[in-house]
């Protein structure tokens, strides 16, 4: 069966999530990112030259699952091993800074901390893409002493948690003995244990888990069965449940969503909405985190899977790994429940919107105006503005500010309708209505890379130029469509000057409009 849901139902499920204490066991990693412009091909060799302009570090592997759980408002404890090296020190500090308990994190002087360094290149200062990844790691299993220490700590503590997550990347921490001991301790304590397995042809170590969450390739590798259609995953999931004595198998199917297969009960396929995929890194981690909170909160598996789909879809829209929050999931569900509103922002939402776009490596373009009676001149210049970056944000003067600028007879169309029409344009990514006489406050909050104004202005005459250029942004002027303006259109409709226009959003204006 194919699972169907209404966004309002998932909003209720999201609100039902608690803030449980979740333990994550697995391979702790450090992710490093080097961002820059991919400008040219080297003269020394046929390789891309990356002019680096930004570096950052983030938690990776099981440590990223911990970070995702924190972003989703869970209390989190971590169990694993880091090396006695710089990367291990950074991971420990970042875990601590995120409020993640580290009592079960051990330092192994003979081990290097797994580090993945990604090089992200922008073409023409836009469209960031990963061009190279360099891994430094140890895959050797833990020695007996560390294994004993980890097992004892896990056996003594699992009963405290609402759920235990095993994030196995095959780097040697999740040995068969550690995994088997953890699953058995959870079974005795009545604590759900959810496993994100490594790619292997034998899932035997995960026998008896509450939930096993392989992806398509991992499930195929372990069972020898191809998943060519989403329906095939139901059969594969049933085999995993039977062979491994699982309560539930959840197979993630990338663009096809997820297959939920309980050992007893009705299986289902849960599709995900089509997204622009920038980077799949971290999608599996946020899905595991959401499922863990869902199971710990007693949420219905169907609801947990569908919320996981939403969280994973939000993650793949980003370049690199970053937290997905409940507020972002809620905003996505609200947008689905009320189509057309997802592009409408408040002034207070501009700053976090801008930060998110920059974290994704996107170039932000901003323009503003009254946009009273949207016409071909507006659409042409907005398309031209959108071509200057990745995200176009449009500021719309409120009705009150339009009256101040153009007189009491304007605007002809009310601010809500003007904003909705702009939001309907595919080239526009966000719309914000503002009351101020200038867009300065919006520019300070959003900090766009490019400020665009349509008309015959010189760049030095554009209002807000000084704000944008102060932080390094640029100003551009878009062209005009000759002979087209709101004033001329209104005059041609009324046969009068703008002084005699009756605004269409007034009661009399509505009757005038209906009369033709």
User: Which DSSP state fits 34?
Assistant: E
One-character DSSP codes across 430-469? EEEEE-SSSSHHHHHHH--SEEEEESS--GGGSTTHHHHH
Give me the helix-helix angle, 144-157 and 176-189, nearest 10°. Answer: 10
Percent above pLDDT 90 for the chain: 62
Report which of 373, 394, 385 is spatially closest to residue 454, judged by C-alpha positions: 385
One-character DSSP codes across 221-254? HHH-----SHHHHHHHHHHHHHHHT-SEEEEE-G
Q: How far is CA 499 from each of CA 142, 153, 163, 403, 502, rounded to the nearest angstrom?
A: 82, 80, 68, 12, 9
CB 429 within 8 A of CB 343: yes
For the annotated catalytic residues, the residue numbers are 285
pTM attached to this predicted model: 0.72
Give the confidence band of 506 by pLDDT, cuts at 50, 70, 90. Answer: very low
Q: Do domains 7-31+60-119+139-337 and 344-514 have the same CATH topology?
A: no
pLDDT at position 499 = 41
In this predicted structure, which of 84-93, 157-166, 417-426 has the lowest mean pLDDT? 417-426
What would the pLDDT profile of 455-469 be if each residue is shown by its tens digit?
Answer: 777 788 889 999 999
3-state class (DSSP) for residue 179: helix
CATH of domain 7-31+60-119+139-337: 3.40.1190.20
Decide if domain 344-514 falls under CATH 3.40.50.620: yes
Neighbours of 191 (CB within 10 A): 20
Instruction: Share the mean pLDDT of the chain.
Output: 87
Domain segments of the chain: what residues? 7-31+60-119+139-337, 344-514
Two structure tokens written together for 224 = 């020898």
What would the pLDDT profile of 234-268 be if each residue is shown by its tens digit?
Answer: 999 999 999 999 999 999 998 899 999 999 989 99
CB 259 within 8 A of CB 229: no
What would the pLDDT profile of 187-206 be if each residue is shown by its tens digit?
Answer: 999 999 999 999 999 999 99
Give the confidence band of 208 by pLDDT, cuts at 50, 70, 90. Answer: very high
In terms of C-beta density within 10 A (0-12 exposed, 13-18 middle, 19 or more buried), how is residue 392 classed? buried
Give the confidence band of 285 by pLDDT, cuts at 50, 70, 90. Answer: very high
Give yes or no for residue 362 having a pLDDT over 60: yes
CB 238 within 8 A of CB 250: no
Give yes or no for residue 514 having a pLDDT over 70: no
- Please tell me the distance from the alpha carbon of residue 498 to that of residue 488, in angstroms, as a whole number: 9
Instruction: Check the CA dihedral 281-191-199-89 and report its sign.
Output: positive
């Amino acid at each position: 069966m194919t699972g169907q849901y209404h966004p309002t139902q998932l909003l209720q499920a999201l609100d039902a999530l608690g803030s449980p204490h979740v333990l994550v066991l697995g391979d702790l990693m450090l992710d490093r990112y080097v961002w820059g412009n991919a400008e040219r091909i080297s003269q020394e060799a046929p390789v891309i030259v990356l002019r680096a302009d930004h570096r950052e570090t983030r938690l990776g592997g099981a440590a990223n699952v911990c970070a995702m759980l924190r972003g989703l408002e869970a209390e989190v404890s971590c169990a694993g091993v880091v090396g006695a090296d710089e990367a291990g020190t950074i991971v420990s500090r970042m875990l601590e800074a995120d409020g993640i308990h580290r009592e079960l994190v051990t330092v192994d002087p003979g081990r290097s901390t797994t580090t993945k360094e990604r090089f992200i290149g922008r073409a023409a200062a836009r469209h960031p893409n990963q061009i190279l990844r360099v891994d430094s790691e140890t895959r050797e299993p833990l020695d007996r002493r560390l294994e004993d220490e980890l097992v004892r700590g896990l056996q003594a503590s699992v009963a405290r948690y609402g759920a235990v997550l095993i994030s196995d990347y095959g780097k040697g921490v999740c040995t068969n003995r550690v995994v088997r001991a953890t699953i058995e301790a959870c079974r005795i304590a009545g604590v759900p244990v959810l496993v994100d397995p490594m790619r292997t042809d034998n899932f035997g170590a995960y026998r008896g888990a509450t939930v096993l969450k392989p992806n398509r390739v991992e499930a195929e590798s372990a069972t020898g069965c191809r998943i060519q259609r989403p329906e095939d995953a139901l059969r594969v999931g049933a085999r995993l449940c039977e062979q491994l004595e699982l309560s539930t198998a959840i197979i993630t199917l990338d663009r096809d969503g997820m297959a939920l297969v309980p050992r007893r009960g009705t299986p289902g396929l849960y599709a995900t909405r089509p997204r622009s995929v920038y980077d799949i890194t971290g999608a599996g981690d946020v899905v595991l985190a959401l499922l863990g909170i869902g199971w710990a909160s007693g949420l219905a598996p169907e609801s947990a899977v569908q919320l996981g789909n939403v969280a994973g879809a939000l993650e793949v829209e980003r370049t690199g790994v970053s937290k997905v929050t409940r507020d972002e999931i809620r905003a996505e569900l609200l947008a689905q429940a009320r189509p057309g509103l997802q592009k409408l922002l408040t002034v207070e939402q501009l700053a976090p919107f801008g930060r998110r776009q920059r974290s994704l490596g996107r170039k932000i373009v901003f323009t503003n105006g009254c946009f009273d009676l949207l016409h071909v001149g507006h659409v042409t210049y907005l398309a031209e503005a959108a071509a200057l970056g990745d995200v176009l944000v449009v500021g719309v003067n409120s009705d009150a500010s339009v009256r101040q600028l153009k007189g009491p007879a304007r605007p002809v169309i009310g601010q809500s309708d003007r904003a909705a029409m702009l939001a309907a344009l595919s080239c526009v990514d966000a719309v914000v209505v503002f009351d101020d006489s200038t867009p300065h406050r919006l520019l300070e909050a959003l900090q766009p890379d490019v400020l665009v104004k349509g008309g015959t202005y010189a760049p030095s005459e554009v209002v807000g130029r000084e704000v944008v250029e102060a932080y390094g942004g640029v100003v551009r002027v878009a062209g005009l469509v000759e002979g087209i303006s709101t004033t001329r259109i209104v005059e041609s409709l009324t046969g009068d000057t703008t002084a005699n226009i009756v605004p269409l959003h007034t009661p009399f204006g509505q009757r005038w409009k209906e009369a033709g």
